[in-house]
Amino acid sequence: MNLNKNIMTESKKKSLIALKKAKTSIEKIISMIEDDKYCIDVIQQNLAVIWLVKASNQKLLEWHLWCCFVDAAKNNDEKRIWEMTDEILKIIKTANK
């Protein structure tokens, strides 16, 4: 397996792990709210989920760059490279809001 495939596989795997942890944490948060737990404890759990989702998003972006973007570059598809660059910039701007 080449370097790009290894990076893609690891990025995808880490993204899935983060999302599964976030899913479990969200279920815990719902229970905490239903059980009328202390607000700050709930907020801390929310922040942990936000971090996990951001980490997943980062790994998905890496996967996209090493897979789709590299393929477009290898194929010298200048139009697609410009489109993808625009998409990536929009995603980054959205993530930084």
- CATH code, 29: 1.20.58
Alpha-carbon span 18 to 92, nearest angstrom: 19
Q: What is the pLDDT of residues 11-60, one digit of tens each?
A: 888 999 999 999 999 999 999 999 999 999 999 999 999 999 999 998 89
The pLDDT of residue 1 is above 50: no
The amino acid at residue 33 is I
Q: How many domains does the chain have?
A: 1
pLDDT given for residue 85 in this prediction: 94
Mean pLDDT over 65-86 rounds to 91
pLDDT given for residue 11 in this prediction: 83
3-state secondary structure of 64: helix
Q: How far is CA 42 from CA 26, 50, 54, 56, in A?
A: 10, 12, 19, 21
pLDDT given for residue 45 in this prediction: 97
The whole domain housing 86 covers 3-95
22, 53 contact by CB (below 8 A) = yes
Instruction: Report the phi/psi class of residue 38: left, alpha or beta, with left for phi > 0 and alpha for psi in -120 to 50.
Output: beta
